[in-house]
Each structure stands twice: as structure tokens, then as C-alpha cells.
Chain A
Amino acid sequence: MSAGSGSAPNGDPSAELRPQSNGPTPAPTPISAPYWSGGAVGELRYQWCGGCELALMDPQPACTRCLTQDLEWRVSAGVGAVASYTIVWRPPLPRFEVPYAPAIVRVDEGFDLLTNIVGCTVGEVEVGMRVSVRFVDRGDDVWLPYFAPA
């Protein structure tokens, strides 16, 4: 079983959390492209249904409550709180450098976002921690919205 790349001892709380240098890049679809490209202009974009006042994430063809396709792209302030997290020490593929911290961030505009927490140590991540977006350019008009302590 591979331990993945990375030099920190297993479980080390002082290990630094950084963006992946060789992680996979998502292939945007016509529905998701505005979300992935927003980082180019520093925008964390999300869909908004004006009819039932619902923020949508991840991008959908229609509102998950009223099914209208009349959705508007809005720009989030990019700030929220960690709703849950994990620290991965044994990655699914060797290309991932450990440790890294998958997390669900509850963004202040009212949607949940899957991301990784960076810019702090393993031991500093906790539920409720305030975080803000840090875009990482992956090329091909894709910017990954990582989050770091606000």
C-alpha cells in the first residue's frame, strides 16, 4: 500500500497543508464552466434561483427546488465556515501529496462546497473555523477554489 508522496510522519499535527502540485484538473461542462473559470477574475461563482431564493452548488441545469432553468450566476464573497473535514494520509492515487484536508465549507451565501483546506497545519483545522477562498490556477481556464483560514 502506497503512503503517497509527502514527507510528514503519519498523523503529524504540525504538517503544513498546501495545494496539490500535481492533482487532477476537472474537465468543465457547459453547465460548470462559469464556476471553474471564475477564479481568473477572483470570483467564486454560484447559481441563484430568484424564484425561490435558493443558492445552488454544485452547478445544475435547473433549480433543485422549483426546477426552473432561469438561473443567475452570482458572485460569493468567498467566505464561510468549515462544516466538516478530514485529513487524508493514504491517498486514492499516488499523485496526491499527503497530508491534505478535504472539507465541506458552508459558504455565507448559503451553499455547501467541497474543497481542500490549505494555509495552516493539520492540527489547526477544526469544525466551525472561518475560511476564505484561495484560487489556484490549473490551466485550461480552470481555477480550483481552495480555502484557507480567514
Chain B
Amino acid sequence: MTHPFRDVAIVGVANTEQAKRLEGHTSFSIAVEAVRLALADAGLDPGAVDGAVGAMAGPLEYQLGSGPAWRGYGPANINGVTTAALAIGAGLATTVVIADGGASTYTDRAATAPWTRPENEFVMPWGMFTAAEFALIARHHMHTYGTPVEALATVAATIRNNGHVNPEAVMTGRGPYTVDDVLASPMIADPFRRLDCAINSEGGAALIMTTVERARDLDGIPVYVLGAGGDRFGPAYQHPPSWTMGGRTDLVNGYIGRRAAAQAFDQAGLAPDDVDGCEFYDPFSFEIIRQLEAFGFCADGEAADFVLGGGIAIDGPLPVTTDGGVLSYSHPGASAQMLQRVIRAVQQLRGTCVSNQIDGAEVVFASNGGAGALFCDVLVLGREAP
């Protein structure tokens, strides 16, 4: 069987400035700036775009003067990148923009960010929000495997230190952080303390995909989708985020993303050992421990020891979330920060990271979502065409 993404290449990526507040911007205007930068990165004119994915796809089609254009009805994240790759591979579009941004949306600072507290009759009366949903998953793992809070704190310190040395991170220069710093920060939703939890900020992100044929005419280094997958167990933040979801024992919600990763590695003809770095989605520290096990980088119950031994450090065997992720780099809304995992993976493979460049990275794994939200999408990206 020929590879499903053999005709597709990522040719442009861009993040705008990321900050706690970007005065004068709306979510759409900062997304447009990201698209302009990503097109410039690709060396493409706006007129080349004939497809868009994301909540802003419609306004972007109009802004870019596109049309008739193909549109993907997914968010601008790994799921959207996968949708775009399928559409390009099927010949429905040639050059697709995947973009999103957040600005001027989080103004009521007495509350947590609006995307952390979707309303539903079964979760609202219990004071649920994202930190509590993910804490229920973490607690199960800690109880089952004896996972210590020091392992969670090591994840938080490691990724936040990646942001500390990244001049483009919202939290640049705010460290360095120690495990003790994390364990001394205020409790938010036990076992998560403030430094275990994602920040919030503003910014835009965009990614351009096109055909391999068109990519040959461009100057930049193309990056290829070697494998993709996505796992879901229903709507996020409605049903109890239990580890087993109704007593299942085979593919459990606690290890959501396991099937997706196996599919992605199978498509790529690769295994976890072949990966040079991981741009994992890091909404809460524990999610990294869970993903290491779910995706097969560690055996079940063994990721805490791997983390405590320096396994995910930038100078360790498997650097994780090298720009600081949503713990430190940026979290500008509902989906741009997920696309930023893909953008960072592309920068690692092109060798263009402004900090924490992994020398000679050939294969990078990226993820979105987590067990607290009942979804997990993954990509295996590489420098060589599949």
C-alpha cells in the first residue's frame, strides 16, 4: 500500500509574538498575522491558498481572497493538520492554511480562562474545570503505580526551564525552576500546583501544507507527515473522566492515544526508539508521564522513573516539549497552542529553533489533547519523504 501522505509536505510555519496581552489585536487579527508570516516562510503568495482548516477558516478564506476553496471543519490542531493532509492527498486542495489565534478573549481574571470551564449539567455543579478533570486521571495513576509528586514536579521544572531559555516564550527568563520551586507553589487541584498547570497568553500560529510537487519549487526545507492518528472517547468535559470509561480493560481512556500512536508508527514504519524528540502537549505536568507510557516510549508505570532520571531533559535521551509548551511558551486560546506543538516539531526538523535545537533531528513526535479531555491526536514528522 502506498503511503497515505506521500504527496503532502509542510512548507511554512509561523508563530506571531506571544505575550500575556497583545494590545490592539483580536483573535482573528493575530491569526491573520500568523498566516502572513507562514506564507512568507513558505515563499508562497496568498493567491496560492485554496483550502483552510480551523474555526477561522471562513474568515481566512475571505481575508486571503481565496475561493472557490476547500474547507476542513476541524480545529486548527493536529486533527486539522491530518484533515488537510488527507484533502491534499485526495486532490481536493493544493495549498491549505491551518491557523488560529487568541487575543482579547480572557478578560475576567476572577475566573479561570473560558476554555477551561465548558458548561454541562453533569460537570458544572461539581466545580469541574480542566485542572480538576486532568487531576482525576493523575490520581488514578499515582494510586496504581505509586507515581510520586516529585516526578510531576520534575516534568514541570524541565519544561518550564525549556521556556526559561527560549527568548520567544511568554515566560522567558522567569526561571530557572527547581523541583522544590514547583512543590512550593500554591495548590490548584491536588496533585497539581500552580507550576504544574498551563499558563494563559495571547498569540497566533499558522502552518501551510501543499503538494510534494509544489514543495519542490520552494526554497525552504519541507517536512513530511510520516504517520498520524487520533483517539477519542466522546465529548470532553461532560462524562466522568475515568481511567477505564465504564470498566474497559483493553484500550482504556487512561492511555488514550495508544492506538493512535501505534497507527502512526505503523504508517511511518518506525518505532518509539527512532524518535529524536517529542513535542508533547503539556496542559498539566502529569500528562507527559501518561503520554510517555501511552505512546510506548516507556512501559506502563515506568515513566516516572524515566523522568526522574533526566530522560526528558534537553540533554537526555528524549527531549520533550523543547520550547516550553503551554507551561511556559504560550497558551493563546482553544487551539493555536496545539498547532504550536506541530510548528515546534517542524522547526526542530528544519534546524531553525532559536533555543534548545536538537542536533540532527530526523524524526519528531507531536501530540495534542490528553486523558482528562478524552482525546489525543498524534503525528510522526520527518525530514525524509515517506
Contacts and interface: CB of A to CB of B under 8 A. Distances in A.
Contacts, number: 124
Contacts of A89: 186-190
Contact of A20 (B109, B127, B190): B127
Contacts of A83: 140, 242-243
B136 A84 contact: yes
Contacts of A112: 240, 242, 246
A116 interface: yes
Given A84-B139, A127-B143, A104 B242 contact: yes
Highest count of chain B CB atoms <10 Å: which of A25, A28, A29, A87: A87
Interface string A21-48: 0011111110010001000000000000
A2 B187 contact: no
Contacts of A96: 127
A87 B127 contact: no
Contacts of B139: 84-86, 127
B263 to A, nearest CB: 24
Nearest to B128: A102
Interface of A is mostly: loop
B154 to A, nearest CB: 20
Contacts of B143: 84, 127
Interface of B is mostly: loop
A33 B242 CA distance: 24
Interface in A96-124: 96, 100, 102-104, 110-116
A58 interface: yes
B188 A29 contact: no
A89 B136 CA distance: 15
A32 B113 CA distance: 28
Nearest to A127: B143
B121 A87 contact: no
Contacts of B124: 24, 26
Interface of B: 109-112, 116-117, 121-129, 131-132, 135-137, 139-140, 143, 186-192, 194, 238-243, 246-247
9 contacts: A2-B109, A27-B121, A84-B243, A87-B187, A93-B111, A94-B111, A104-B242, A110-B247, A127-B140
Interface of A: 1-2, 10-11, 20, 23-29, 32, 36, 57-58, 64, 83-94, 96, 100, 102-104, 110-116, 127, 138, 144
